[in-house]
Structure 1
Amino acid sequence: MLFGYKPSKIEVDTMVPDLSNTGGLRPDEFVKLMALKRSAQLSFGDQRQIFSVFDTHCRGFLNLDDFKRAFKRVIPHLSEQTIIEAFREVDRDSDGLVCYKDFEYVMNYAEEEDQVHLPALT
């Protein structure tokens, strides 16, 4: 539930081998299993839909104002400086616009980073 998803008992039983004899699941195993579940849930269509919600003018790209507006709706307490820095990070070619390819890259890159840099769960 901490990761925004609560698997059913059946899902857990099918994803995780019998843990009664092993003393539990190591944190890296848990992260790997949850990353697989998450990547299966966030498909190309989902990413495209998220981008479309941000692209309120249906232009196929986001400018800084679109980005600010989207972040203010989703995370209203985030500072404007943080939003600007995030925009610069997503705008890979520094043209002042975030196209779908930029957005898709960041969404996929973030999934890979989550798998590598999540702190150990103890």
Structure 2
Amino acid sequence: MCPNFSAKESLIMVTIDARNFKHIKEAFRFADVSNKGYLTSNGYKKAIIALFGEKPSKGEKEAIFGCDRNRKLTLKDFTDIILSREKENNREQQIHKAFFLFDLESKGFLVLEDFVKAQLNVFPHLSHRVLEKAFSAADVNNDGRISYREFHSVMSYGFPFFI
């Protein structure tokens, strides 16, 4: 039997599956104690705990509510925030996995040889010279290694212009 969602809720579901939306909606309703159709800062905290089992950080709450502690989040606002949070978590996981695909020996850093091997599998047409330049651009502190932090930065923001 299909759940009965309003037209507005159906639009939200275009980007998430029904099961996830159901959990988001349940957490929202659980935290909306007065049944007003919105969450305050404290309601948001309660909903996040219900969904993820942990409190949102102060920075996260400040990013959402800023100085306006009276801001009210609708179900759509809350859903958008959760989707953004999940997208960010997925991106972080992908970067982490990618790093360990390059770091086959689990050293915690990449040397030029690791970088070249991995890149040649993905981009066999690139010259060794171009790969060396890319490695140098990613090796911000010039220690001959690309740390996870340097790798993360490149994966998040792109290579600095190097050609």
TM range, normalised to the smaller chain? 0.5 to 0.7
1-side partners of 2:146 and 2:97: how far apart?
Answer: 15
Report the AA paired with residue 96 of structure 1: G
Q: RMSD of aligned C-alpha atoms? A: 2.6
Q: Does 1:103 align with 2:146?
A: no
Q: For residue 47 of structure 1, report the CA deviation from its aligned partner.
A: 0.5
SS in structure 2 at match of 1:43: helix
Report the AA paired with residue 40 of structure 1: K
Which residue of structure 1 aligns with residue 101 of structure 2?
53
Match of residue 66, structure 1, among 87, 98, 114: 114
Report the AA paired with residue 68 of structure 1: V
Q: For residue 110 of structure 1, report the CA deviation from its aligned partner.
A: 2.0
Q: Deviations over 1:46-105 (max 9, x none)?
A: 100000000011100000000110111111111111100000010000000001000001
Q: For residue 43 of structure 1, report the CA deviation from its aligned partner.
A: 1.7
**Whose radius of gyration is greater, 1 or 2?**
2
Q: Does 1:78 align with 2:126?
A: yes
1-side partners of 2:158 and 2:137: how far apart?
Answer: 12
Paired positions, count: 78
- Comparing both chains, which one has the higher relative contact order based on Cα–Cα distances under 8 Å and sequence gaps of 6 or more? 1
2-side partners of 1:66 and 1:107: how far apart?
Answer: 16
2-side partners of 1:70 and 1:52: how far apart?
Answer: 11
Structure 1: gaps spanning 5 or more residues: 1-9, 12-36, 114-122
2-side partners of 1:97 and 1:58: how far apart?
Answer: 13
